[in-house]
Structure 1
């Protein structure tokens, strides 16, 4: 039995943070019902590339869920939701603050009928504070919290991070964490609660070292100036002769000594406390003198926290990840197509067996008749 079997989750969210959170709950056995607007549904359905009737994004994030199409602005339509709201265990919503209240679906209104409900709101800035009503996306959130300022590259060619850090690590994951904590407490008290998940708030743990440095010394980190942001030759990206990138993370002295020996760095430059820029320049010259295949072999022998940056295509074919079974399960699109399901951080012991078919994402409104009177 999966640990969340028997739990009903109503998902009013769209795009990434909420759907990712409810995907994790569904993987652990929860019954997740998406509440979508008629005609268009979750905006993610219309993204590209298309895969069957909807986008690949939607298919990956919403597998195994159910879909109810309902016009929340219509009081008669909202009334049809009441039986579901009365028996739901968890509600996840991602509107701007105040929207659910205007729809008559605030926590106070819904919990009055269902005091066991755990009601989770995911927003960029939270339900309180001067920015609560501001529009934003991931890039804004990591920019507002100072995270982006620590490593955005040359000002003439700033780098957009390759991951949606705020949406997933600041929104989806904290939402699941707090929902599980609330379920545990409900088991003892019988009562649900309201969860205010602010993606910006939850980014500050990623800045633990920078916050500590600034508070303790009064010297706040800048762009690429510190150990884990490229300020040290021990933790940096170096181009090889063929244009591939070598990731050096030889932070500890024992790894640094092995790395320096492996690449033949002159002894005078191995003490990187003396002239770190000079050390980094020489390492750049050495790495740039040979192709990535050479360095892959060198670092495989040395085992010093150094590697060649893999492309995504290479990563999904990596024998290690294949052996771990990350891409074993398949998701269908309902039209005969299949692709590897998105690996999620739910222990295999809490999910359906790997050989079980992964259910497709729901068609818009496919389950309306089954769930609404």
Structure 2
């Protein structure tokens, strides 16, 4: 891949940045992976109690490019080691419920005293404050409460969204990353770190800004599904089934694209100027559906791929890497993880000069404990003493 560098190389745009990530699930590990992809040194602090099963622990894709240290934070020596790592870092990532880091003695106030320049990145579902701050939740809940899930509601049907992507990764991880980079930039001028409170619910709400604009000032968004072309009720913005049971998508919102779509489908008797007359949609949509069902997905790809009708086939996760566009852009990479093949998405975005790391298998728990501790001043005898005291593994 020309857009990425060799495994373990450090010429990415974030080379020289050290991040401490406290092991968790969901958006935190994904954010750490993206930072590692871009050249940052991401040190993953994992529980030493998990080290006993490390040989059976999967090499998580989201741990690619990271270094793993297994520490027991309930011991004084384990805490001391964690502090040395934190004091050596530029930023920290944690995704626990509010109060967990404080109970560990590693909360923002304590960190600010010992590492005043460090950016403290926190990602949660509901945020650090508010009536729901301490409640459990998942992606589906955060997207629902913002009103965004309702934008995927077909008439008479329950809304449906792809799991973990909108809330966890987009609303959580991406906004955490944006916040960390903003705070790091500001710290260069002020010399002071700060807390980044990245709540998934905040991020999802922020991403709906265009929809709120269309709904309000522009009057373009209709809450009634039957009058809203985005809600899969129109004949030109929808998923249609093909003759072979596979599906294609059409998204010809603009007039010129809609006119071309009518031409490609042979609907010469349809007036393109009536595109947004929702009363026409049910009958016309039935006609479009019948036309699409007359050919296979492959046949429609041959006819519509690359045209301005705004077309794409609905591909499975297995088939997506083989599409010519995705293959040419090296959208996915194939790895061997502990002797087994594994496919992963390639790093994004791409840079013209400081390329991202080539993805490699994720680190195992405690794999880098000795090397990382040595980087903050621990000698071999010190590390052996830590192990003897049960502070690391």
Give the root-mean-square deviation of aligned CA atoms.
2.7
Distance 2:230 2:187 in 1: 40
Distance 1:352 1:13 in 2: 23
Paired position in structure 2 for 1:49: none
Find the residue that maps to 2:240 and give its secondary structure. Answer: strand
Residues 316-335 of structure 1 aligned to structure 2 (within 5 Å) = 316-328=321-333, 331-333=335-337, 335=338
Name the residue aligned to 2:311: 306
- CA-CA distance at 1:162 after TM superposition: 4.8
- 1:351 paired with 2:352, answer no
Shift of 1:265: 1.8
Structure 2 equivalent of residue 296 of structure 1:
301
For residue 382 of structure 2, what is the aligned residue in structure 1?
A: none
Q: Tell me the distance in 2 between the aligned counterparts of 1:208 and 1:184.
A: 25
Is contact 1:331–1:341 with CA below 8 Å preserved after alignment?
Answer: yes
Counterpart in the other structure of 1:241: 243
In the TM superposition, what whole-angstrom CA distance separates every residue of 1:35-79 from its partner, at most 9, and x where no partner exists? 1112337xxx99xxxxx8433xx5311111111112223344212
> Which of 281, 284, 288 is equivalent to 1:283?
288
Per-residue deviation, 1:99: 0.9
Establish whether residue 54 from structure 1 lines up as the match of residue 64 from structure 2. Answer: no
Q: Is the 8 A contact 1:213 1:221 kept in 2?
A: no
Q: Within 5 Å, which residues of 2 pair with 1:64-75? A: 64-75=65-76
Identify which of structures 1 and 2 has the higher relative contact order when contacts are C-alpha pairs closer than 8 Å and 6+ apart: 2
Aligned to 2:83: 82
TM-score, normalisation: structure 2 = 0.82
Correspondence list, 1:265-284, <5 A = 265-268=267-270, 270=272, 271-272=274-275, 273=277, 275-284=280-289
SS for the counterpart of 2:50 is: coil
CA distance in 2, matches of 1:247, 1:143: 25
Question: Where do 1:172-251 residues align within 5 Å?
Answer: 172-216=173-217, 221-222=223-224, 226-251=228-253
Change (3 A) 1:292 1:3: closer
Query: Equivalents in 2 of 1:325, 1:247: separation in Å?
Result: 23
Structure 1 position 325, deviation (Å): 2.5
C-alpha distance after superposition, 1:181-236 (max 9, x if no partner): 22222222222111000111111233224323544469862557523221322211
Query: Is the Cα–Cα contact under 8 Å of residues 255 and 305 in structure 1 kept in the other structure?
Result: yes
Q: Distance in 2 between matches of 1:331 and 1:196?
A: 35
* Partner Cα distance (2:131, 2:75) in 1: 31
After superposition, residues 24-173 of structure 1 pair within 5 angstroms as 24-40=34-50, 53-55=56-58, 58-153=59-154, 159-162=160-163, 164-173=165-174
Change in CA separation of 1:29 and 1:85 when aligned onto 2, cut-off 3 Å:
same
What are the ranges of 5 or more consecutive residues in structure 2 without an aligned counterpart?
Answer: 1-10, 379-393
For residues 101 and 363 of structure 1, what CA distance do their matches in structure 2 show?
27
- Determine which of 28, 32, 42 is the counterpart of 1:22: 32
Report which stretch shifted further, 189-198 or 260-269: 260-269
Going from structure 1 to structure 2, the CA distance change for 1:75 and 1:212 (only over 3 Å counts) comes to same
